[in-house]
Chain A
Amino acid sequence: MELAGLGAYALFFLNLVGIYAIMALGLNMQWGMTGQFNIGIAGFFAVGAYTTAILTTGPSDNWLGGFNLPFLVGLVGSVLVCLPIAWAVGRITARLRTDYLAIATIGIAEIIRLFFLNEGWLSNGTRGIPGIQKPFGVGNGGYLIVVAAFVGLTWLAVEIARRSPWGRVLRAIRDNEPATAAAGKDIARFRLQAFVVGSCIMALGGGLYAHFVGFVSPEAFRPLYGTFLVWVMLIAGGSGNNLGAMLGALVVWLIWSSTEMLAGLVPTALIGSESAFRVFLIGILLQIILVSRPQGLLPEKRPPMPGERGASVGKGHSVRD
């Protein structure tokens, strides 16, 4: 590959890493901090991507559109549309065991995908919505700056949240729910807040994705790309640690891209389907991480308490209950 080609690929690669990093940060808010098992990331991802696609594209007879709104309005729209959906899902499951949240989220994700697949008037069905522009007419290089800025802002926001009293309550709920309830905290309310905030961050990632790829169709929001990869990223990077979530996005996307080459080396006669082989590898990788190093590459560190000085490295949370 020539140097220019390599550079172009690096830009493409880093853009996607950034977008996935935002989604991993959103998941970290839900799982890493609060212990909520959301496996419907793809649904919020899709809501974000479709909302901005509909808001910012030009008029067409094939789907609801023609608003021609600017980029930032599209992103704000993504977050606003996601809000009531996340609230409803969170509200129903906030008082129940986390398994219920898992089942409810995967259900809502599949239904959102079915909805975009079947409601052609809204989303152009399987053909998808093309022609979503990048803002200010930038290319991949310029867009990388936009994505990086959003990654930075999101990271700042979730990091401030993590160190705040609010973040402490979330971790307390995660580590010991009865004790937190005994301390007088409204567990269901805090859970709901964390779930909604995390889901909206995912929708933001979806919006950025739509503008980067320029095209959305239901195919992109299958559980594999939308949900599973983000989970592998967070678990591999270190759940509870925001830097870990972003590092995980980089490492896993690197592995995911290189499995493409690895799968290319194996004769197709042996494996039948290349993409299936890649999923197989990444699934095995996740199992190995879970069994051997469940705390991830960068384990969680407890942020210093107010008034506490210096780096107070907590014990992390190798065992949570």
Chain B
Amino acid sequence: MIEFIQLLINGILLGSILALGAVGATMIFGVLRFAHFAHGDLMAIGAYFALTVVTVFNLPVLAALPVAMLLTAGLAVGIDQVVYRRIRRVQPVILLIASFATALVLRSFIQMVWGSSNQVYQTGIQLPWRIGPLTLKPDHLLIFIAATVLVIGVHLFLTRTKMGKAMRAMSDNMNLALVTGIPADRVIMWTWVIGGALAAAAGVFLGMDTRLHPVMGWTLLLPIFAATILGGIGRPYGAILGGLVIGCAMELSTLIIPGSYKPAVAFAIMVVTLIFRPQGIIKGSV
């Protein structure tokens, strides 16, 4: 039972990281109609931006977080302007290939600039808190609080601002949104800003929880897509729910099967979703 609760705590932690990635991915999916395969690597580069800020200015990680989010959001908009915008009208699937190429370019860029060995934000061992038989690292609580704050921020953005409402409208029904005069280009730009910033946050939290590695984002891409599909494509709230479910399922699965098969668990949930409810928990656009 103790082991179960401990794994559940880890699962919620992983789940909140996945949720941050999945919210961005699902919004890009909803507004631009393509699966963004560079999303994991966008997370990784965000984490590395934060690493540079931490080492150069000797700041704590959470202080570097806004800088990393800003830089990654700028990078995402830049990639969109240089690459995706030009091929948006050709064919949606060409965008997929381009995002796949972007993923590799970003990852090799990380390897070239920061090297391909493991790195950490802080050296030294953080003493975990012991609550009875359970252990909890202070970082975990920090990540959980920060992720919750970000998710609430996204919720407020989507429900209270004009841009957020426009974004949801475009994700819901593209044609109807366009006839009502929603500025598509600006909505797309803001989608990238939000998606990039959230991806960077997810990457930084992942780096705090474990370590930084050039393929850290790529390995989470599949669980993120699984969360996106489970939650319903184009549904930010579904993505949060999906992220938490997938995160907990991945951690709890280690009770039964070897830990190295965690990505397979995410995949299995995704396949089951695709077979029985392809529109996701909250009905998304198929």
Q: From A284, which residue of chain B is reached at the shortest CB distance?
A: B105
Task: Tell me if B157 is interfacial: C-beta within 8 Å of chain A.
Answer: no
Query: With the chains together, A104 CA to B109 CA distance in Å?
Result: 27
Query: With the chains together, A97 CA to B279 CA distance in Å?
Result: 11
Partner of A114, one of B37, B109, B261, B278: B261
Majority secondary structure of chain B interface residues (helix, strand, loop or mixed) = helix
Partner of B35, one of A99, A231, A278: A99
Question: CB distance A280 to B109 under 8 Å?
Answer: yes
Question: CB distance B116 to A103 under 8 Å?
Answer: no
Query: With the chains together, A278 CA to B97 CA distance in Å?
Result: 18
Partner of A97, one of B104, B218, B267, B286: B286
Count of A residues near B, CB < 8 Å? 46
Cβ of B225: which chain A residues have Cβ within 8 Å of it?
A: 103, 107
The answer to whether A272 and B101 touch (CB under 8 A), given A102-B96, A103-B225, A118-B258, is no
Shortest C-beta distance, B127 to chain A (Å), equals 33
Cβ of A277: which chain B residues have Cβ within 8 Å of it?
A: 108, 112
Query: With the chains together, A276 CA to B115 CA distance in Å?
Result: 9
Question: CB distance A92 to B275 under 8 Å?
Answer: yes
Shortest C-beta distance, A225 to chain B (Å), equals 11
0/1 string, B15-45, CB within 8 A of A gives 1:
0000000000000010000110100000000
Partner of B229, one of A103, A273, A276: A103
Question: CB distance A231 to B286 under 8 Å?
Answer: no
Question: CB distance B104 to A228 under 8 Å?
Answer: yes
Query: With the chains together, A283 CA to B83 CA distance in Å?
Result: 12
Shortest C-beta distance, B248 to chain A (Å), equals 19
Query: With the chains together, A275 CA to B104 CA distance in Å?
Result: 12
Question: CB distance B111 to A273 under 8 Å?
Answer: yes
Task: Tell me if B255 is interfacial: C-beta within 8 Å of chain A.
Answer: no
Question: CB distance B108 to A92 under 8 Å?
Answer: no
Task: Tell me if B162 is interfacial: C-beta within 8 Å of chain A.
Answer: no
Cβ of A282: which chain B residues have Cβ within 8 Å of it?
A: 104
Question: CB distance A35 to B112 under 8 Å?
Answer: no
Partner of B91, one of A224, A279, A319: A319
Query: With the chains together, A286 CA to B35 CA distance in Å?
Result: 18
Question: CB distance B112 to A99 under 8 Å?
Answer: no
The answer to whether A280 and B94 touch (CB under 8 A), given A114-B264, A228-B100, is no
Task: Tell me if A290 is interfacial: C-beta within 8 Å of chain B.
Answer: yes
The answer to whether A272 and B90 touch (CB under 8 A), given A92-B275, A283-B104, is no
Question: CB distance B115 to A100 under 8 Å?
Answer: no
Task: Tell me if A93 is interfacial: C-beta within 8 Å of chain B.
Answer: yes
Query: With the chains together, A235 CA to B94 CA distance in Å?
Result: 10
0/1 string, A116-135, CB within 8 A of B gives 1:
01100000000000000000
Query: With the chains together, A278 CA to B108 CA distance in Å?
Result: 8
Question: CB distance A96 to B274 under 8 Å?
Answer: yes
Task: Tell me if B160 is interfacial: C-beta within 8 Å of chain A.
Answer: no
Which residues of A in the span 275-321 have a Cβ within 8 Å of any Cβ on B?
Answer: 275-280, 282-284, 286-287, 290-291, 294, 319-321
0/1 string, B220-239, CB within 8 A of A gives 1:
01100110010000000000
Shortest C-beta distance, A217 to chain B (Å), equals 16
Instruction: A104-B271, A118-B261 given; name 5 further pairs at CB < 8 Å.
Output: A111-B261, A235-B97, A271-B112, A272-B114, A275-B111
Interface residues in chain A, defined as those with a beta carbon under 8 Å from any beta carbon in chain B = 35, 37, 39, 92-93, 96-100, 102-104, 106-108, 110-111, 114, 117-118, 223-224, 228, 231, 235, 271-273, 275-280, 282-284, 286-287, 290-291, 294, 319-321
